[in-house]
Structure 1
Amino acid sequence: MADASNSDNGGEKQTLKIRRLEITDKRKGYMELLGQLTVTGSVTDDEFDQRFEEISSRGDDHLICVIEDESSGRIAATGSVMIEKKFLRSCGKVGHIEDVVVDTEFRGKHLGKQVVEFLSDHCRDMGCYKVILDCSVEKKVFYEKCGLVNKGIQMSKYF
């Protein structure tokens, strides 16, 4: 666990820590935070716990990080990375960053950049030769500030 940022919030000190997702984070607003990114649907505590265990069983190949505001016990930011094992580049590995979101109350504090750096560092430590992510045109400048470059376009087919 590392300090993400410390700031004064109207006389109240915020202590922000970046760490791996924990099973108790659902009650700290994790699902509501994801809802600021996209549709989450209804997820019961049992469904959350089962999915958490499934993701955790993948070890370091699927990492979800959060930044917790320890003063309030709320999750302020999150992101995830999945590591794809390939045959290309001498059986290399690629990190796929997904679901980066910062709570509206905590935006402007560089937490998104810290999430991307945390996940990128994890990929480097795992021996990945690159990290990729998909984003909207509106987020392009933000990710360029995080050190990523535009390498093409994304294509999707939804089911």
Structure 2
Amino acid sequence: MQSSNSNEVENYQVRKLEISDKSKGFIELLQQLTVCNSVSDQQFRDRFQELSLCGDDHVICVIEDDHSGKIVASGSVFIEKKFIRNCSKVGHIEDVVVDSNARGLQLGKKVVTYLTDHARSMGCYKVILDCSVDSREFYEKCGFKQKELQMAKYFI
């Protein structure tokens, strides 16, 4: 799947998640990122509908490989409404993943750019994300800078 042909890369378009993307390997792609158990069709439909109610405040985007019909990249952004900075907004990018067989095609950058542009269009004064040390260089190439330290407390 990897190629240096720029025309091939242009064939990969970012779009919003669709209900049919579960059958195109969306959950399996997320399993390359983190712990993601199988999700039934009903669970997927329920969560998809729930997220749809958020409108443009929560967007999941995907890239589908037109040749295989599989989802090969994804990411999400949600918009947090603040009181600070004159009741401004912050975009939070999450769950950026590119299929291991499609890396090197700049698909991750396309996803991050799409999500960042969406946050900007929603009036966010900044967009933030957490990443692993291994991913730091990638996000720096996308224009991000290390700002603070992440802390987490897991409940499961």
TM-score (normalizing by structure 2): 0.93
Per the alignment, residue 92 of structure 2 pairs with 96
- Displacement after TM superposition at 1:109 (Å): 0.5
What value does the CA root-mean-square deviation take over the aligned residues?
1.3
Q: Identity across aligned pairs (percent)? A: 63
Query: Aligned runs of 1:113-128 on 2, under 5 Å?
Result: 113-128=109-124
Contact map agreement 2:74 2:96 (CA 8 A) in 1: yes
Contact map agreement 1:65 1:80 (CA 8 A) in 2: yes
Query: Aligned runs of 1:4-153 on 2, under 5 Å?
Result: 6-7=7-8, 15-153=11-149
Question: Taking CA–CA contacts closer than 8 Å with sequence separation of 6 or more, which of the two structures ends up with the larger relative contact order?
Answer: 2
State the AA in 1 paired with 2:59: L
Distance 2:7 2:125 in 1: 32
Which 4+ stretches in 1 moved above 6 angstroms?
A: none
Distance 1:42 1:72 in 2: 21
Distance 2:14 2:68 in 1: 15
Distance 1:17 1:37 in 2: 21
Which stretches in structure 1 are left out of the alignment for 5+ residues?
Answer: 9-13
Summarize deviations over 1:76-119 as a string: whole Å, max 9, x none. 10000010000000000000000000001110011001100000
Distance 1:101 1:72 in 2: 18
Summarize deviations over 1:110-157 as a string: whole Å, max 9, x none. 100110000000000000000000001111110000000000110000
Give the paired residue count: 150
Distance 2:33 2:107 in 1: 15
- Displacement after TM superposition at 1:24 (Å): 0.3
Per the alignment, residue 11 of structure 1 pairs with none
Contact map agreement 1:120 1:131 (CA 8 A) in 2: yes
Higher strand share: 1
Choose 81-90 or 67-76, whichever is displaced more: 67-76
Which stretches in structure 2 are left out of the alignment for 5+ residues?
Answer: 1-5
